[in-house]
Amino acid sequence: MHITEKQLKLITETASQEAIKAYREQESKQQKDKHDRRLRNIKLLLRNYRMFILHCRDVKQDLIELEKPKDIIAELEADEHAIEAIKRSKERTLIMVNFINEMLDVYKLICERSIKPEVKRRYDIIHQLYISDKEKTAKEIATCHFIDERTVYRDVNKACETLSALMFGVDSIKFNG
């Protein structure tokens, strides 16, 4: 079977178009996955916020304690590595908590300045659900704000979108097109 030049050109163009289409679909899926991962990370940070705060309360003192020389004459090198790993983990946690606090302060300011009542409510919901010393359930928050419990979760999702933009910058924004 012999393929004419015209047929070859048509096959090449069709294959190229399909390859480009497949590439764009794959890239779009990767961007969506990246965006979804960032939202999950924000929610994970918020869900663990109280634990991080407790962990960081005594971090400065812990770091000082880890720096003190040990009385053990022959300290195993593995122990040294473990101590360094613990120090790095504590330092990273402290840095992350400070960053989260800064972004929450910015988000609070954004919400307070909004003229939309639902935007003002979102910070309060995030605060009561994840940040305040007295944790409340979504049902309690819904009752307090005279909204449906599902609205609480929608507000959390919208708040996380904004927090994602604050924490991850322009990379977190999902562009259509």
50-76 confidence digits (pLDDT tens): 988 888 877 666 666 656 555 443 454
Helix 138-145 and helix 117-126, axial crossing angle in degrees, nearest 10: 150
pLDDT digits (tens, 9 = 90+) for 117-168: 999 999 999 999 999 999 899 999 999 999 999 999 999 999 999 999 999 8
The two structure tokens encoding residue 169: 């910058």
Burial class from Cβ neighbours inside 10 Å (0-12, 13-18, 19+) for residue 62 reads middle
| 22 band by pLDDT with thresholds 50, 70 and 90 | confident
Number of H-type helices and E-type strands within the chain? 7, 0
Looking up tokens 């190229």, which residue turns up? 16
Q: Write the pLDDT tens digit of every residue in 25-36.
A: 888 777 766 667
* Alpha-carbon span 16 to 157, nearest angstrom: 39
pTM of the complete model beyond 0.75 = no
| Tokens standing for residue 127 | 């605060």
pLDDT for 108 beyond 80: yes
